[in-house]
Structure 1
Amino acid sequence: NVDECVGLGAALHAGLTMLREKPDAVPAGISSGLSDINLTDVCNHSYGTICAPIDKETGRRVIENRIILKKNTPLPCEASQVFYTLTDGQTEVEVTITQGEGNDVEFVNTISTYKFELPPDRDAGCPIKVTYSYDMNQRMHCKFEDQESGRVLEVDLSLDKEGKMSESAKKGKGKELSAVGRSKVE
């Protein structure tokens, strides 16, 4: 019975949380029963970004989702990948935070999209390091760093149980960003 399994899992999680936070409040019998249980929180989805690598077979650029944090990675976790600007003189990059398991952009969800401003007058191929970290409180921190100039865009996302940012949270973050006019979103 699926509902029963969910209920048992929730009870175990609550018991372990209580044991960790207020061990004196947990009766000895329950405490000893929980002592051998180890729960590991994991990423409930894969998280990535959209990029435009060159297809090895055709030699053409393709738009794809690149997974940075893989589903079922134990929490807390952090992973980075380096991407590169596409054109000479590129002054911004559209950075997209995605949730989904595949490389096809049609089959992943877009959580958020931001413009990351870059210094002018540079050649194509400037490295942008993308780092995602996910903590025990279902909070994801995304950092986009221009490796040459040191410019950084940081985005903190509070995700719901399905790994998505709520619409009200998105609107609030957009207002924060436009009101402050800076490169950090919380």
Structure 2
Amino acid sequence: MQKSNWIIVTILVVASVLFLWMWQALQFSLVDNPVDIVVTVVWWLVIAAACVAIHWAEKKRRERIRTVFLAQGLAYNCETGVVRLDANASVVDALQKMLSSLNYGFDLAELPSNSRVRFQRIVRTSKFADNGNVWEGELVEVVQPGSPKPFSSRSELAHLMGEC
């Protein structure tokens, strides 16, 4: 079970115990009171808000993991680490292979501290599914970080990178 699933279960258990304690401490169990419905609504709102917040946080975490930094002959991803790229191969093919093999774990690879690599491009992938058939995101040139170039397919990314 992933960490986010355990967080959801923990929140549900803690909220359940808290509301059960409140129910007994305020003696709602003794009288049929209109406040019962308020407690019930608050309970479900807390649970729904927690689930939405956890889903949003997991989505953002996965987007950060899919971010790839590119240098001449190298690619860096926080899960796979530094990967050497074949000089004759397509960078987009290498990115697709790298993103397809991600397992979105919590153990992250760090960039070597003695590295003097200057990254030239950043590929931020917001959606990646079906082995790259669904691939959306943006390409950022490090020299112009304020003007990212969005792409919505593998072929658009190849065109932006000059591989077409």
TM-score of the two chains, using structure 1 as the length reference: 0.28
Which has the larger strand fraction?
A: 1
Based on CA coordinates, which of the two structures has the bigger radius of gyration?
Answer: 2
